[in-house]
């Protein structure tokens, strides 16, 4: 929804629309993403994290209006999340990239980091018990809980 409202969001002019998945089907499963070094207040101190996350969407492929827009989001560090494969390599193909987005785009942020959009659903795996797989060191909190703590810290 926020991508549809990008004309109202300062700094989001180059964001894509999210259109039907390249596989032409709803995707509902666990995938891996890597948190990029971006200005997003949600992902502060999470850059480089590789985390399992749920996807549940039929329309998640990033479709840019012009090549200059895709260049702009990359050069201004607006790509906040990217799909990766099981080796940690940027996922350009299905099934590791569940929607077919260029550069494995799974989430974007504005240059000031105040608005972030993401196709995966970290709210479904923020506790370790919610994850079908987790590292041995995760006991109560999952890796995504930090995102929610960051949001809380940012709003006071």
What does the pLDDT look like over 122-138, one tens digit per residue? 999 898 888 777 778 88
* 144 has pLDDT over 80: yes
Which range of residues forms the domain containing residue 49?
Answer: 6-149
Question: Which domain CATH number covers 110?
Answer: 3.40.50.880
Tell me how many domains the chain contains: 1
Assigned domain for 1 exists: no
pLDDT at residue 7, as a whole number: 86
- List Cβ neighbours of 117 (8 Å cut-off, separation of 6 or more): 2, 3, 15, 107, 108, 109
pLDDT at residue 78, as a whole number: 97
Assigned domain for 156 exists: no
- List Cβ neighbours of 155 (8 Å cut-off, separation of 6 or more): none
Check if the beta carbon of residue 65 is closer than 8 Å to that of residue 73.
no
Assigned domain for 155 exists: no
What does the pLDDT look like over 61-104, one tens digit per residue? 999 999 999 999 999 999 999 999 999 999 999 999 999 999 99
| Residue with the two structure tokens 């827009």 | 69
Assigned domain for 154 exists: no
């Amino acid at each position: 929804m926020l991508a549809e409202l990008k004309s109202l969001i300062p700094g989001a002019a180059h964001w894509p629309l999210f259109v039907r998945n390249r596989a032409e089907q709803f995707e509902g499963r666990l995938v891996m993403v890597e948190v990029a070094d971006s200005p997003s207040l949600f992902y502060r101190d999470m850059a480089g994290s590789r985390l399992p996350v749920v996807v549940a969407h039929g329309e998640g492929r990033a479709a840019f209006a012009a090549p200059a827009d895709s260049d702009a989001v990359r050069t201004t560090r607006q790509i906040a999340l990217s799909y990766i494969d099981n080796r940690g390599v940027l996922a350009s193909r299905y099934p590791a990239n569940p929607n077919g987005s260029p550069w494995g785009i799974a989430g974007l942020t504005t240059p000031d980091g105040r608005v972030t959009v993401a196709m995966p659903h970290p709210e479904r795996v923020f506790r370790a018990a919610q994850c079908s797989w987790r590292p041995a060191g995760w006991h109560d909190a999952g890796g995504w809980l930090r995102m929610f703590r960051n949001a809380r810290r940012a709003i006071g």
